[in-house]
Amino acid sequence: MSELSEVLGALMVSLVHARRMADEETAAVAEYYKDNPLLEGMSLPRVRVPELTIDMPLTLKKHIPAKDAELDSPANIHRALMEHFKQSLDDEDILSRTKSFQNAFDKESKLALDKISELQRSTDTRVTREAVLRSIDDAYAKALKKTASTSEIPFEKTDAVNKAVRHSISQIALKSSSNPLSLITDATTSAVKESATSQSSVRLQITLREEGLEWSSSSQDGRLKNRLQPE
């Protein structure tokens, strides 16, 4: 048994590798044509499958409900955040000159985390990691405005500290990650024949369309950049 997403993914991956195998064979034929004086002027045979339709029966065994991400407690997030925050300042002189900024960020970040936690408890709103990141960003900006730290710390340093804070929040905010709803299926021929019923079996008619990509090179700021673009 497999998840339906795995079955569909396997079909698409198989088509990609089929195209790769065909192109590898075309390259081998190109070498052969080049070395044969009677063939070198002819066009190369290249087989493509622009569209593939698959009619596939399968049985649905069960479904696993979706699971939303769970935030850690505000106290745990706040404690870890402030540890990372002070580590990111990483300069005793700056640490001693920015006590008011540290205290302001301590208070603002705690308020922001409490609001996010209350929102998750009191409503059906799905709180995401990005929502937590943005609330801490706002707390950081408010703490800077309330103090004179912008004149005491170079902008490059405040920007670096802000990025470090965002990175740390991204790591510590969630107690458990989310899982999407999944369908457990059986697509093997023997299993479908033996267990299929009108209530549990379905037929999927899937059309896969091939879109070729090719490398394109360009120079930007003195550096060569390669991008994949449609053929």
- 31 confidence band (pLDDT: 50, 70, 90): very high
**185: pLDDT strictly greater than 70:** yes
Chain position carrying tokens 């044969």: 36
Supply the range of the domain harboring residue 171: 70-176
Percentage of the chain modeled with pLDDT above 90: 7
Any domain includes 181: no
Tokens of 123: 């409503």
The structural domain count of the chain equals 2
Model-level pTM?
A: 0.55
User: Are residues 157 and 89 part of one domain?
Assistant: yes
Residues 88-101 have pLDDT tens digits of 777 655 666 777 88
The per-residue pLDDT of the chain, averaged, comes to: 81
State yes or no: pLDDT of 107 exceeds 70. yes
Task: Tell me the C-alpha distance between 23 and 3, whole Å.
Answer: 31
Who contacts 228 (Cβ-Cβ below 8 Å, separation ≥6)?
213, 214, 215, 216
pLDDT value for 199: 67
The model's confidence at residue 149, banded by pLDDT at 50, 70 and 90, is low
Q: Collect all residues with Cβ–Cβ distance below 8 Å to 28 and sequence separation of at least 6.
A: none
Residues 26 and 78 in one domain: no
Q: Are residues 120 and 161 in the same domain?
A: yes
CA distance 200 to 178: 27
* Same domain for 172 and 76: yes
* Interatomic CA distance for residues 118 and 111, integer angstroms: 11
Residue 134 counted as domain residue = yes
Judgement on whether residues 146 and 57 belong to the same structural domain of the protein: no
Residues 159, 110: one domain? yes
Domain assignment of residue 44, yes or no = yes
The answer to the question of residue 149 being in a domain is: yes
Residue 215 DSSP one-character state: E
Give dist(CA 194, CA 189) in Å, integer: 9
pLDDT reported for residue 58: 83
Element (H, E) at 16: helix 4-35
80 shares a domain with 62: no
Query: Which whole number is the average pLDDT over 25-51?
Result: 88
State yes or no: pLDDT of 224 exceeds 60.
Answer: yes
Q: Are residues 170 and 207 in the same domain?
A: no
* 80 & 168 share domain: yes
Distance CA 132, CA 81 (A): 12
The model's pLDDT over 44-68, given as tens digits with 9 standing for 90+, comes to 888 888 888 888 888 878 888 877 7
Q: Tens digit of pLDDT for each residue in 119-146? A: 877 777 677 778 888 888 888 888 888 7
Asked if residue 147 and residue 202 are part of one domain, the reply reads no
Contacts of 14 (CB under 8 A, 6+ apart): none
Nearest to 74 by CA among 116, 107, 130: 116
Residue 83 included in any domain: yes
